[in-house]
């Protein structure tokens, strides 16, 4: 099977080379994003694979179909960069990737501990040889009530990790998970917001979840609530979040994702002027931790995402069912 792999990064090449030797595929590796300007690279291919920076809208999908491309994979879990309705209408089959939930779950716990123990201002002080303790008193995880919004693979892994700390765990999901009820108390969203000291979000970005954290939902949370987001930046209304930090309604904020992060995260922009003013403003606060969409970024995750990106294309072509087809 002829496949063109777009957005190839240095950390993917070893696994891609391994797959090209062990699977009946011919891989052409392209570092550029897939766009109308680069779509000609897909000529002669039956399948293409992308990451999240390629925006597969209807015109681009039509161009792929005209070149004979029948299968598309994204080496990401999220698929908001692909017009799935247009793909279905054009007869292009699409699959996404998966990876073990441990990477994001571990990172989520790390962010909780970083903000609970005031690590960011402590690090700032060390850089100028200030070893004072005033203002750095933290809180123990054991004494917190932690609310987990969304108990899919990642949310469930977070709950299992949290159970080891001995804290009280509340959970919200559209369908309560029986196998987690011994570790967490499933409650409605209002109860979770009202009673949680820390709230972590693990739901996909959909029209229903867009800006689910807003002025109204913040008003239902505790004063000084700690918010953690390793899911999607679009879950949070940044104007409301910023106001919450300024008024101290939010005690601490840790986000691995940010709305309109495209073109900033995963790129070297240190000599550029960043146009995301909200991001630039928020990162100044000592109780705000922003990381560059890296919660997933482990050796195991990259290998899994690359494997999914190639093997799902092969499965779809050869008529094998894959749970990752959308």
Task: Considering only CA atoms, give the Rg of the chain.
Answer: 21
Catalytic position from the list 7, 12, 46, 261: 261
How far apart, in whole angstroms, are the C-alpha atoms of residue 125 and residue 290? 18
168 forms beta bridges with: 145
Answer yes or no: 75 catalytic: no
- In 3D, which of 39, 100, 50 has the Cα closest to residue 79? 50
Answer yes or no: 261 catalytic: yes
Catalytic position from the list 232, 259, 269, 323: 232
Give residue for tokens 């070297």: 268
How far apart, in whole angstroms, are the C-alpha atoms of residue 292 and residue 107? 12
Answer yes or no: 232 catalytic: yes
Residue 134 CA from chain centroid, whole number:
35
- In 3D, which of 276, 284, 224, 221 has the Cα closest to residue 249? 224
How far apart, in whole angstroms, are the C-alpha atoms of residue 24 and residue 13? 17
How far apart, in whole angstroms, are the C-alpha atoms of residue 94 and residue 82? 9
- Helices 119-127 and 102-116 sit at what angle, rounded to 10 degrees? 70
How many other C-beta atoms are found inside a 10 Å radius of the C-beta of residue 265?
20
> Which residues are part of the catalytic machinery?
232, 261, 293
């Amino acid at each position: 099977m002829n496949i063109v792999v777009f957005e190839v990064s240095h950390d993917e090449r070893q696994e891609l080379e391994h797959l090209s030797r062990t699977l009946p595929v011919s891989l052409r590796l392209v570092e550029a994003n897939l766009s109308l300007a680069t779509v000609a690279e897909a000529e002669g291919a039956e399948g293409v694979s992308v990451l999240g920076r390629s925006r597969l809208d209807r015109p681009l999908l039509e161009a792929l179909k005209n070149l004979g491309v029948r299968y598309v994979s994204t080496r990401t879990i999220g698929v908001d960069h692909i017009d799935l309705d247009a793909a279905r209408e054009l007869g292009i089959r699409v699959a996404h990737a998966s990876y073990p939930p441990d990477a994001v779950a571990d990172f989520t716990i790390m962010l909780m501990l970083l903000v609970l123990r005031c690590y960011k201002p402590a690090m700032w002080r060390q850089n100028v040889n200030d070893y004072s303790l005033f203002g750095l008193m933290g809180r123990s995880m054991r004494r917190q009530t932690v609310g987990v919004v969304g108990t899919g693979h990642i949310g469930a892994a977070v709950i299992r990790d949290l159970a080891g700390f001995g804290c009280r765990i509340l959970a919200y999901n559209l369908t309560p998970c029986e196998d987690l009820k011994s570790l967490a108390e499933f409650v409605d969203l209002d109860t979770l917001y009202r009673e949680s000291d820390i709230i972590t979000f693990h739901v996909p970005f959909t029209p229903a979840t867009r800006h689910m954290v807003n002025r109204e939902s913040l008003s239902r949370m505790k004063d000084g609530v700690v918010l953690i987001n390793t899911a999607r930046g679009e879950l949070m209304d940044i104007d409301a979040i910023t106001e919450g930090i300024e008024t101290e309604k939010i005690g601490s904020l840790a986000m691995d994702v940010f709305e309109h992060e495209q073109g900033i995260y995963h790129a070297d922009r240190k000599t550029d002027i960043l146009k995301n003013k909200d991001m630039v403003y928020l990162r100044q606060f000592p109780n705000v931790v922003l990381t560059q969409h890296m919660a997933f970024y482990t050796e195991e995750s990259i290998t899994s995402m690359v494997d999914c990106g190639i093997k799902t294309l092969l499965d779809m072509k050869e008529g094998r069912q894959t749970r990752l087809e959308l």
